[in-house]
């Protein structure tokens, strides 16, 4: 059955668990997530980026969600727009059956000027008003998160907002978070807490504190009814990097967010945990492995089935680690 983000995360907050939000672009990823959820009895958040919507097409995506809902009747599914950039993206997602949208007004927030903040508040509030009229939930974002934002306003030298702002300026300001939530009435809030998008988060093995736990704790203490969202939460497991590289890939050594750091975040109010890179890597490492191991193979299913199975195993692991398992 379809469920809104608000319904799902209210339950997660009541029972102290987190929910991974996996990105989907195609049938294989959809089935991988649902098989994992079914195996451990976990509720699901699937999210589609603007890129996913143009890749698969809105009608295909929306019928896929219909199909998955019918195939797995016992599993609650929240279908969410990831990083919506304006009202049109968010409202058209709802028209296509999404039960939740992210209005990411921080995409334009590189410089962190008062005008950028006012823009974020105004556009997010407009989306909240419209979405709540029709029973959909809204995630907003406050703060400078990472590569997506950098990409939006990146100068030629490749130094985005991260290069110009100090570490503290990159983190969400708790006072501003309180103001933002009151002004927008969002159901969930993505905060900048030290992560970034993509595979290349840390260039050394993270030792000690990765997440700005004091910021998470402070925002959670002051906004206990608002569900916190952690973007850029792939762990980029070493085993997947090794398999990728052993099969002809050339991925430079990198480190993601350790799962136990995410689990600490969940103890302090993080409820939605966005994961895309890990799923991509799990799948494409299998493509490489199959291609390298059997150079005559040309049946796409021989590539896609192991890829699907690898993504399923990864999703299942996260459902178990985040405490989502058993809550469908």
Binding site for Zn ion (CB under 5 A): 231, 274
51: Cβ–Cβ under 8 A, 6 or more apart, which residues? 25
**Contact with ligand G3H (CB under 6 A): which of 1, 15, 16, 51?**
51
Write out the binding residues for ligand G3H, residues 72-101 only, by CB under 6 A: 82-83
Residue of 41, 66, 82, 209 with catalytic role: 82
Nearest in space to 193 (alpha carbons), one of 165, 217, 159? 217
**Contact with ligand 13P (CB under 6 A): which of 194, 232, 265, 323?**
232
241 binds ligand 13P (CB under 6 A): no
Nearest in space to 31 (alpha carbons), one of 322, 319, 309? 309
Is 82 one of the catalytic residues? yes
276 binds ligand G3H (CB under 6 A): yes
141 binds ligand G3H (CB under 6 A): no
Contacts with ligand 13P by CB under 6 A: the residue count is: 14
Stretch of 35-43, 45-53, 97-105, 220-228 lying at the interface with ligand G3H (CB under 6 A): 45-53
For 68, other C-beta atoms within 10 Å of its C-beta total 21
23 binds ligand G3H (CB under 6 A): yes
**Contact with ligand 13P (CB under 6 A): which of 62, 124, 277, 284?**
277
Nearest in space to 237 (alpha carbons), one of 262, 271, 268, 212? 262
240 binds, among ligand G3H, Na ion, ligand 13P, none (CB under 5 to 8 A by kind): none
- Token couple for 43: 């509720």
Q: Tell me the residue number closest to Na ion, measured at CB.
A: 102
4 vs 49, beta carbon nearer Zn ion: 49
Write out the binding residues for ligand 13P, residues 242-261 only, by CB under 6 A: none
27: Cβ–Cβ under 8 A, 6 or more apart, which residues? 64
234 binds, among Na ion, ligand 13P, ligand G3H, none (CB under 5 to 8 A by kind): ligand 13P
Stretch of 48-56, 61-69, 100-108, 235-243 lying at the interface with ligand G3H (CB under 6 A): 48-56
**Contact with Na ion (CB under 5 A): which of 91, 102, 145, 177?**
102
Catalytic center residues: 82
Binding site for ligand 13P (CB under 6 A): 23, 82-83, 197-198, 231-234, 274-278
């Amino acid at each position: 059955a379809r469920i809104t983000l608000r319904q799902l995360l209210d339950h997660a907050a009541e029972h102290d668990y987190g929910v991974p939000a996996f990105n989907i672009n195609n049938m294989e990823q959809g089935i991988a997530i649902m098989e994992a959820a079914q195996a451990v009895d976990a509720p699901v958040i699937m999210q589609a980026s603007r890129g996913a919507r143009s890749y698969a097409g809105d009608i295909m995506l929306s019928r896929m969600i219909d199909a998955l809902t019918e195939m797995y009747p016992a599993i609650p599914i929240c279908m969410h727009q990831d990083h919506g950039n304006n009202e049109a993206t968010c409202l058209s997602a709802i028209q296509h059956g999404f039960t939740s949208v992210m209005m990411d007004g921080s995409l334009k927030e590189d410089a962190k000027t008062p005008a950028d903040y006012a823009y974020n508040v105004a556009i997010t509030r407009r989306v909240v008003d419209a979405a709540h009229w029709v029973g959909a939930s809204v995630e907003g974002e406050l703060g400078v998160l990472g590569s997506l934002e950098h990409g939006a306003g990146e100068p030629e030298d490749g130094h985005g907002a991260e290069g110009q702002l100090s570490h503290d300026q990159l983190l969400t300001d708790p006072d501003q978070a309180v103001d933002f939530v009151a002004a927008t009435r969002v159901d969930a809030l993505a905060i900048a807490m030290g992560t970034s998008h993509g595979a290349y988060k840390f260039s050394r093995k993270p030792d000690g504190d990765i997440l700005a736990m004091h910021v998470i704790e402070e925002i959670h203490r002051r906004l206990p009814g608002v569900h916190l969202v952690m973007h850029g939460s792939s762990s980029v497991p070493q085993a997947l990097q090794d398999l990728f590289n052993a099969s002809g890939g050339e991925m430079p050594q990198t480190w993601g967010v350790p799962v136990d750091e995410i689990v600490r975040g969940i103890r302090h109010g993080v409820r939605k945990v966005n994961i895309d890179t890990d799923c991509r890597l799990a799948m494409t490492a299998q493509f490489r492995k199959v291609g390298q191991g059997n150079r005559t193979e040309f049946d796409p299913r021989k590539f896609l089935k192991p890829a699907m199975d690898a993504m399923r195993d990864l999703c299942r692991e996260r459902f178990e680690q985040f405490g989502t398992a058993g809550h469908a």
